[in-house]
């Protein structure tokens, strides 16, 4: 049996997906095509992806009644990130004797299969079908084919006419209230309307918390909840916007546990601060602001600033950023004399002195660590606080 595997986010599935699958099934004489919606796609962490259940149901609706088309929930059942290697291993365990699997990919994806998780093992488990569109770069395509062959991947080519639509265009059109009937099967359109999918709206705080629980470990999420609570408490003391502080607090570490590849997919490579040459310990703050904006729809610059500078602070940072910078240090999960001393100053209304002591403690800690470099931004924040705290005492 020859089986084609058509994986994707399918957010939503559209006529272009179905047209391509039908063409490939005919060209390569596949016995069946299995559509496999991704669970939590690691490369799309910066975007809010529609729930796996809804995407699965839309695929079911789209392929209903089409001979040789099947759908599998193999990936959406996984609670962790989804990788092709794991999917293939599971399919192999339940395969018929002699069943051959071919992974259907776009021609542009061909250039990236070398970076897939356990790519060499994937090459041994399946072949590939590269969908080649009219007008694609022939030279680059041949180079990618050559590299794939050298790496041990077996790749077939399928010439597929261009279907000028994408899931992104469809989502954007629905958000604007435009008719997308020409792009998607009628039953998919019905499902989208029934569930009110892709309608532009802000996520609630509860929805953000629910999503963060999937991104973060229990320990990290507990810390984030603690920072949010402490941010609210401090905001009330210092007259800051409570809701902004709460949201910045819960999101401050949202990118803390992303993988190195996910940082690259988000556009971050190398050190995030030219004045800091150590490990990328600051990277999650910058990436967190991007994640807050792209995944959670946060556009308020005060909140984004608070996320960006919650580790080191920065001179002239706003009140929301000051609150979160301090709350990250004084949340109830932090135990020890250093933390208690800073909390005491904060509770007395000495905001700048509390932050100054936080900076001093951080610098002293780093200085005691052998060969641990000091972030210049922390020094700049500390110097700014020295000058401004004098005014606080007057």
What's the pLDDT tens digit per position in 139-171?
888 888 888 888 889 999 888 887 778 898 999
Indicate whether 216 pLDDT > 70: yes
Judge whether residue 273 has pLDDT over 70.
Answer: no
The two structure tokens encoding residue 354: 């509390």
CA distance 65 to 390: 75
Question: Burial code of 34-72, b = ≥16 C-beta within 10 A, e = fewer?
Answer: bbbbbbbbbbbbbeebbebebbbbbbbbbbeeeeebebb
**Average pLDDT score, the chain:** 88
Per cent of the chain over pLDDT 90 is 60
Residue 201 confidence (pLDDT) = 74
pLDDT at 245 over 90: yes
**Mean pLDDT lowest among 30-39, 188-197, 318-327, 358-367:** 358-367
- Both tokens of 213, joined, read 């629980």
pLDDT beyond 60 at 272: no
Tell me the pTM.
Answer: 0.67
Compute the average pLDDT of residues 354-361: 94
Could you write out the DSSP letters of every residue in 268-296?
A: --S-S-TT--S-STTHHHHHHHHHHHHTT
Comparing 304 with 142, the larger pLDDT belongs to: 304
Query: Is the separation of the CB atoms in 72 and 36 below 8 Å?
Result: yes
May I ask the CATH class of domain 2-195? alpha beta
* 368, 372, 377, 381: CA torsion to nearest 10: -10
Whole-number Å distance between alpha carbons of 373 and 203? 39
Instruction: Flag whether pLDDT at 333 surpasses 70.
Output: yes
Q: What is the pLDDT of residue 332?
A: 93
Please tell me the predicted confidence (pLDDT) of residue 276: 47
**CATH topology assigned to domain 205-393:** Hypothetical protein af1432 (1.10.3210)
Please tell me if the domain spanning 2-195 has the same topology as the one spanning 205-393: no
User: pLDDT value at position 151?
Assistant: 86
In this prediction, residues 23-52 reach a mean pLDDT of 85
Going from N- to C-terminal start, the domains of the chain cover 2-195, 205-393
Mean pLDDT, residues 37-41 taken together:
80
Average pLDDT on 190-205 reads 88
């Amino acid at each position: 049996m020859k089986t084609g595997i058509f994986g994707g986010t399918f957010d939503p599935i559209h006529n272009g997906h179905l047209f391509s699958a039908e063409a490939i099934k005919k060209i390569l004489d596949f016995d069946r095509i299995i559509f496999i919606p991704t669970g939590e796609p690691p490369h799309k962490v910066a975007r809010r992806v529609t729930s796996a259940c809804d995407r699965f149901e839309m695929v079911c609706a789209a392929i209903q009644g089409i001979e040789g088309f099947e759908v599998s929930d193999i990936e959406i059942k996984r609670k962790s990130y989804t990788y092709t290697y794991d999917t293939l291993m599971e399919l192999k365990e339940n395969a018929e004797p002699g069943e051959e699997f071919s992974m259907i990919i776009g021609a542009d994806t061909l250039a990236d299969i070398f970076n897939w998780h356990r790519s060499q093992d994937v090459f041994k488990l399946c072949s590939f079908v590269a969908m080649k569109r009219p007008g694609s770069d022939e030279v680059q395509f041949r180079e990618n084919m050559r590299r794939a062959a050298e790496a041990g991947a077996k790749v077939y080519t399928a010439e597929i006419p261009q279907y000028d639509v994408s899931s992104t265009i469809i989502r954007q059109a629905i958000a604007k209230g435009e008719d997308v009937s020409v792009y998607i099967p009628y039953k998919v359109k019905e499902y989208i309307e029934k569930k009110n999918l892709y309608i532009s709206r802000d996520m609630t705080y509860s929805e953000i918390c629910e999503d963060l629980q999937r991104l973060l470990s229990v320990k990290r999420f507990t810390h984030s909840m603690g920072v949010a609570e402490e941010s609210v408490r401090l905001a009330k003391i210092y007259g800051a916007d409570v809701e902004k502080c709460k949201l910045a607090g819960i999101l401050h570490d949202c990118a803390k546990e992303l993988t190195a590849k996910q940082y690259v997919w988000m556009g971050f490579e190398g050190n995030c601060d030219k004045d800091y040459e150590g490990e990328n310990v600051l990277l999650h703050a910058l990436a967190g602001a991007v994640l807050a904006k792209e995944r959670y729809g946060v556009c308020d610059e005060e909140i984004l600033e608070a996320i960006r500078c919650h580790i080191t602070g920065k001179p002239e940072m706003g009140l929301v950023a000051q609150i979160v910078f301090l709350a990250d240090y004084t949340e109830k999960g932090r135990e020890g004399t250093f933390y208690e001393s800073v909390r005491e100053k904060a509770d007395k209304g000495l905001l700048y002195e509390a932050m100054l002591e936080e900076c001093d403690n951080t610098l002293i800690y780093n200085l005691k660590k052998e060969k641990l470099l000091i972030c210049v931004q922390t020094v700049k924040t500390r110097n700014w606080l020295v000058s401004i705290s004098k005014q606080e005492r007057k």
